[in-house]
């Protein structure tokens, strides 16, 4: 199998904690061909979509630790056609580059793409979470998405809670997430000016979300593969920060899924699969779905450490099975067409 990871540059990888590196490492261990490229390195030549790739040379003996693997890996640069790969694994950080998807549209029928282009288009920002809320379910907190500062101020005033969460629509890794309180209403308008209005006169959508009691104790990151949970961890905020993201200073602890969390996964899993969102990270607080991460969900290395497991093995097992299904279907069609032609 040949797999291309569409992600951030090789030299920006954290060799100890990077989920993408854990997945790459597992592929190399299985003797798969591995390359990676950034969205900026996509190109079209003679109507063929290609990429300037960083190719990892095959290794006779693959180091067991990520840090040693990253240090010893020998890489080379090469321009390669994307349709020649069996898999394209999307691991680019948000925000989503729509031009990247336009490049990949030309190869989506030839290559198994994780996650699907249509799924990424629908779910690349925090609006997708709202698709799981309706009048019959209570799995997401009360959420407002708007550019209208007057409206947002009124929602804060009308809220029964003293605290709410404000965050940019396209943020990730906890970036820009702040806790606001009614006792500091005099600062709200200036905060909204900063978050909503750009210096060039354009504006941004923001999310204003009900504060969930217990959020100060952290959240739960759950990784789902093909709609089923394959790992979970509790992320605990640092002493001086309300955010529980590890990138923002949070720490990690073991977590056993509650009955409510299992029910939540069961409820949203079918839609994720239907939308081609096979590898997803969800963030849950108090049994409520806060975010769905579909571009480069992380957490594998931390889960591996606290549980002494290898979550990446399940992910690559799944991808191998999907590629095998695709190859078998192609062989079957070719065989049947030959029968008809020779009749």
Is the pLDDT at 242 greater than 60, yes or no?
A: no
DSSP letter string, 118-158: HHHHHHSSGGGGGGG--TT---S--EEEES-HHHHHHHHHH
Query: What b-and-e string marks burial along 208-237, b requiring 16 or more CB atoms within 10 Å of the CB?
Result: bbbbbeebeebbbbbbbbbbebbbbbbbeb
What's the gap between Cα 101 and its chain centre?
15
2-114: CATH, from 2.30.40.10, 3.40.50.20, 3.40.50.150, 3.40.50.300? 3.40.50.20
Cis peptide before 94 (omega within 30 of 0): no
Asked if 204 and 147 count as a contact pair (C-beta separation under 8 A), the reply is yes
| pTM for the structure as a whole | 0.87
142-210 and 215-309: identical CATH topology: no
Instruction: Sketch the domain layout of the chain as residue ranges.
Output: 2-114, 142-210, 215-309
May I ask the CATH architecture of the domain 142-210? 2-Layer Sandwich (3.30)
Count of beta carbons in the 10 Å neighbourhood of residue 167: 20
Is the pLDDT at 134 greater than 80, yes or no?
A: no
Is the pLDDT at 136 greater than 70, yes or no?
A: no
Say how many residues make up the chain: 343
Q: What's the CATH code, domain 215-309?
A: 3.30.470.20
What percent of the chain has pLDDT above 70?
94
pLDDT tens, residue by residue, 22-62 = 999 999 999 999 999 999 999 999 999 999 999 999 999 99
3-state secondary structure of 109: coil
Nearest to 32 by CA among 324, 330, 305, 334: 324
pLDDT tens, residue by residue, 263-304 = 999 999 999 999 999 999 999 999 999 889 999 999 999 999
Asked if 219 and 244 count as a contact pair (C-beta separation under 8 A), the reply is yes
Measured between alpha carbons, how far apart are the two ends of the chain, in Å? 34
pLDDT tens, residue by residue, 191-241 = 999 999 888 888 999 999 888 888 888 899 999 999 999 999 999 986 665
């Amino acid at each position: 199998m040949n797999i291309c990871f569409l992600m951030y540059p090789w030299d920006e990888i954290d060799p100890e904690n990077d989920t993408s590196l854990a997945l790459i490492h597992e592929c190399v261990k299985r003797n798969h061909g591995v390359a990676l490229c950034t969205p900026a390195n996509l190109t079209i030549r003679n109507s063929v979509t290609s990429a300037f790739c960083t190719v990892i040379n095959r290794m006779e003996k693959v180091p067991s630790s990520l840090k040693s693997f990253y240090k010893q890996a020998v890489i080379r640069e090469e321009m390669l056609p994307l349709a020649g790969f069996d898999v394209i694994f999307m691991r680019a950080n948000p925000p989503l580059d729509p031009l990247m998807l336009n490049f990949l549209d030309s190869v989506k029928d030839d290559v198994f793409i994780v996650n699907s282009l249509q799924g990424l288009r629908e779910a690349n920002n925090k609006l997708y979470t709202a698709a799981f809320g309706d009048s019959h379910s209570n799995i997401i907190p009360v959420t407002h998405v708007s550019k209208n500062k007057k409206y947002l101020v009124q929602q804060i005033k009308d809220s029964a809670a003293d605290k709410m969460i404000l965050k940019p629509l396209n943020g990730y890794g906890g970036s820009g997430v702040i806790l606001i309180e009614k006792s500091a209403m005099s600062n709200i308008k200036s905060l909204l000016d900063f978050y909503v209005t750009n210096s060039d006169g354009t504006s941004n959508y923001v999310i204003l979300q009900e504060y969930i009691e217990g959020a100060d104790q952290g959240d739960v990151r759950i990784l789902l593969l093909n709609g089923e949970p394959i790992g979970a961890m509790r992320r605990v905020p640092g002493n001086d920060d309300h955010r529980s993201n590890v990138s923002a200073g949070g720490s990690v602890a073991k977590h056993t899924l509650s009955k409510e969390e299992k029910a939540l996964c069961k409820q949203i899993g079918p839609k994720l699969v239907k939308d081609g969102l096979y590898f997803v990270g969800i963030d849950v607080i108090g049994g409520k779905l806060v975010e769905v991460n579909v571009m480069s969900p992380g957490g594998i290395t931390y889960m591996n450490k606290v549980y002494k497991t290898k979550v990446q093995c399940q992910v690559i097992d799944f991808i191998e099975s999907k590629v095998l299904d695709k190859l078998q279907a192609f062989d079957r069609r070719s065989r049947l067409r030959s029968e008809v032609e020779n009749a």
